[in-house]
């Protein structure tokens, strides 16, 4: 993403980032990222795509570290800041990261990597200005970032994108949604996923706009920042819009009126990462004056389909293919379906990722022989607008905008001594889209609060089941396979 770094020079004296510690110009971002790069290089000329994992809170330091890794020739591996150690360890080991950079607040959780034989754990405080070394020239077809995504396998997969892929993802959105250096956006989304990293942070910085980070998310703080009058572009997942609506409704009328007037002046409000319920879209229109622009994307492809910036935005629909993105709908034999018929969304284009890190077979399986990426999402086209109908796998759950694998949770649950068998599914929920629930075949002595505490040491809160039922056996078909549709009905 070196084009992002080059572009920053045009806006040197402008404010790029605002966070809890202050405001920072693009020049400061260039200087700090140069320091990080020089520190990582330690006299070498190029990190040569070595993986650098980093656990840093959203803000100036996060961006400086990410750009520093890129400028030194490394592959950036952002770690989720709410992961417990086993989930972090999985990502660090799977990528074979050589460096682990950490904000001081995460030193403790990463402490098992202190004095490690082959990995260097570096606290941000150790990075000091060194004599600036010459930074390498980097070919844009090299790997830039690995983000983890859950899928139909029990272990998450690392999605490797190149600088070219990311540059395409960002430049397409900047153009389609008309980002400019006059814009000011609020960063509230986690920075280990495409939505927060690409659509919000990188698009803003590419255009010379300002991003203010708010961390952790708080609906009342979002509205306080809106009231300050600087934000004009806002992007979030449906769960966040749901939470903002309920916060808004708790305010007295005069406050609501003032907020509505403020939001009407925004240039753009976007929703994505999960289906936007029509009820949320309509309520948001009443309180903000905005028809949310809903779009569709995936970690492997960036954004692919979007409602128009200018023109009709259709509730319940994800819009039309973005420029440069080829989209087709196919049946089980990879044959295009007739107009208006449902089919799997398949994608081609320069934004599509390079490979699943270290998983050649999974990469090969994800593409058709003629190079189309198989999303697993089922859609149909109504009057030119795509509409998502569901997924081809019941084992993928979307909760709060996060993609969660039922198989991954089951595998961990089965390790709990009192659990003999289990089945995890997602059930519809107004606020979260879906919530994770689990059916357990277990000893009667099982205490679910103890189980929850045990799980929290092994997975982040957003993956933990919210409800349990206890069964003698799981519903199965004649072949003995668990019938998840039947299981869902039991909730
Ligand atoms: C947290 N809680 C939940 C869930 N998550 N309950 C049910 N289901 C969940 N999924 C509970 C917690 O256990 C806690 O309860 C309480 O909610 C508050 O938890 P906390 O973590 O503080 O939640 P939050 O900060 O309010 O988080 C909600 C959130 C967050 C801000 C909506 O989930 C979020 O940032 N989602 C965005 C994810 C995202 O960026 N996805 C993009 C993926 P208790 O205290 O009782 O334990 S990229 C992508 O999908 C593609 C490319 C795309 O198209 O964008
Ligand atoms: P992730 O793997 O976390 O990048 O999540 C990508 C998945 O999120 C897609 O495959 C879709 O299932 C889902 N998704 C993203 N945007 C939308 C949307 N606007 N409507 C419905 N589902 C969406």
Domain count, the chain: 2
Is 444 among the domain residues? yes
Residues 360-371 pLDDT 10s: 999 999 999 999
Lowest mean pLDDT among 2-6, 118-122, 173-177: 2-6
**98 is in which domain, residue-wise?**
3-138
Query: Is 133's pLDDT higher than 90?
Result: no
Residues 6-41 pLDDT 10s: 999 999 999 999 999 999 999 999 999 999 999 999
Is 70 among the domain residues? yes
**CA separation for the pair 83, 62 (Å, rounded):** 17
Which ligand is in closest contact with the Cα of 157?
A: 2
Domain end call among 138, 173, 194: 138
Structure tokens at 65: 């570290």
**Distances in whole angstroms, Cα of residue 120 to Cα of each of 42, 52, 268:** 12, 10, 42
The pair phi, psi for residue 199, each rounded to 5°, is: -65, -35
The pair phi, psi for residue 259, each rounded to 5°, is: -65, -40
Q: Which atom of ligand 2 is nearest to the CA of 296?
A: 16
- Provide the edge-to-edge strand list for the sheet that holds 326-330: 326-330, 343-348, 373-382, 385-391
Query: Which helix H or strand E contains 123, and what residues bound it?
Result: strand 120-123
State the distance from the centre of ligand 2 to the C-alpha of 83, rounded, in angstroms: 21
Pocket residues for ligand 2 (CB within 6 Å)?
Answer: 149, 194, 272-275, 294, 296-299, 318, 375, 377, 388, 391, 398, 403
- DSSP character at residue 462: G
Residues 285-296 pLDDT 10s: 999 999 999 999
- DSSP character at residue 338: P
- Is the distance from the beta carbon of residue 430 to the nearest atom of ligand 1 less than 6 Å? no
- Is the distance from the beta carbon of residue 460 to the nearest atom of ligand 1 less than 6 Å? no
Is 52 among the domain residues? yes
Domain end call among 78, 111, 138: 138
In sequence order, the β-bridge partners of residue 269 are 234
CATH number at residue 52: 3.40.50.980
466: preceding bond cis by omega (within 30 degrees)? no
Is 62 among the domain residues? yes
Domain end call among 115, 138, 161: 138
- Is the distance from the beta carbon of residue 399 to the nearest atom of ligand 1 less than 6 Å? yes
Is 153 among the domain residues? no
**Distances in whole angstroms, Cα of residue 35 to Cα of each of 44, 98, 135:** 14, 18, 11
Q: Please compute the mean of the pLDDT values over residues 268-290 and round it to a whole number.
A: 97
- Angle at Cα 257 formed by Cα 252 and Cα 262, nearest 5°? 130
């Amino acid at each position: 993403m070196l084009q992002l770094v080059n572009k920053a020079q045009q806006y040197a004296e402008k404010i790029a980032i605002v966070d809890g510690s202050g405001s920072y110009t693009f020049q400061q971002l260039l200087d700090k990222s140069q320091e990080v790069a020089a520190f990582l290089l330690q006299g070498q000329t190029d990190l040569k795509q070595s993986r650098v994992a980093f656990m840093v809170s959203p803000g100036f330091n996060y961006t400086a570290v990410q750009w520093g890794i890129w400028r030194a020739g490394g592959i950036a591996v952002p770690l989720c800041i709410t992961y417990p150690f086993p989930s972090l360890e999985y990502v660090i080991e799977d990528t074979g990261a050589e460096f682990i950079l950490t904000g001081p607040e995460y030193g403790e959780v990463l402490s098992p990597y202190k004095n490690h034989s082959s990995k260097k754990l570096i606290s941000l405080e150790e990075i000091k200005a060194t004599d600036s070394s010459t930074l390498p020239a980097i070919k844009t077809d090299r790997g830039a970032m690995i983000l983890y995504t859950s899928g139909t396998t029990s272990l998450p997969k690392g999605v490797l994108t190149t600088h070219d892929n990311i540059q395409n993802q960002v430049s397409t959105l900047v153009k389609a949604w008309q980002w400019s250096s006059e814009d000011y956006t609020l960063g509230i989304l986690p920075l280990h996923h495409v939505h927060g990293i690409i659509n919000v942070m990188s698009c803003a910085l590419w255009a010379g706009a300002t991003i203010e980070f708010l961390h952790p998310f708080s609906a009342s703080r979002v509205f306080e920042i809106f009231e300050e009058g600087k934000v004009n572009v806002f992007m979030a997942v449906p769960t966040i819009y749901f939470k903002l609506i309920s916060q808004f409704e708790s305010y007295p009328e005069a406050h609501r009126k003032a907020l509505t007037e403020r939001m009407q002046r925004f240039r753009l409000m976007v929703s994505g990462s999960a289906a936007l319920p029509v009820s949320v879209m309509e309520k948001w229109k009443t309180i903000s004056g905005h028809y949310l622009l809903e779009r569709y994307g995936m970690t492997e492809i960036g954004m692919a389909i979007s409602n128009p910036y200018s023109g009709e935005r259709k509730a319940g629909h994800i819009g039309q293919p973005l420029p440069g993105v080829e989209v087709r709908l196919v049946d089980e034999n990879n044959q295009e379906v007739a107009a208006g018929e449902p089919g799997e969304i398949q994608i081609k284009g320069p934004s599509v990722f390079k490979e699943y890190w270290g998983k050649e077979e999974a990469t090969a399986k994800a593409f058709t022989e003629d190079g189309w990426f198989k999303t697993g999402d089922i859609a149909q086209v109504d009057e030119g607008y795509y509409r998502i109908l569901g997924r081809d796998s019941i084992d993928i759950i979307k909760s709060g905008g996060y993609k969660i694998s039922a198989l991954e949770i089951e595998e961990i649950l089965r390790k709990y001594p009192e659990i003999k068998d289990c089945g995890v599914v997602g059930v519809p929920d107004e606020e979260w889209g879906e919530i994770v629930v689990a059916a357990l075949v277990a000893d009667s002595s099982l205490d679910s609060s103890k189980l929850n505490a045990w799980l929290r040491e092994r997975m982040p809160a957003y993956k933990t089941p919210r409800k349990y039922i206890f069964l003698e056996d799981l519903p199965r078909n004649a072949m003995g396979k668990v019938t998840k549709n039947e299981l869902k009905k039991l909730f």
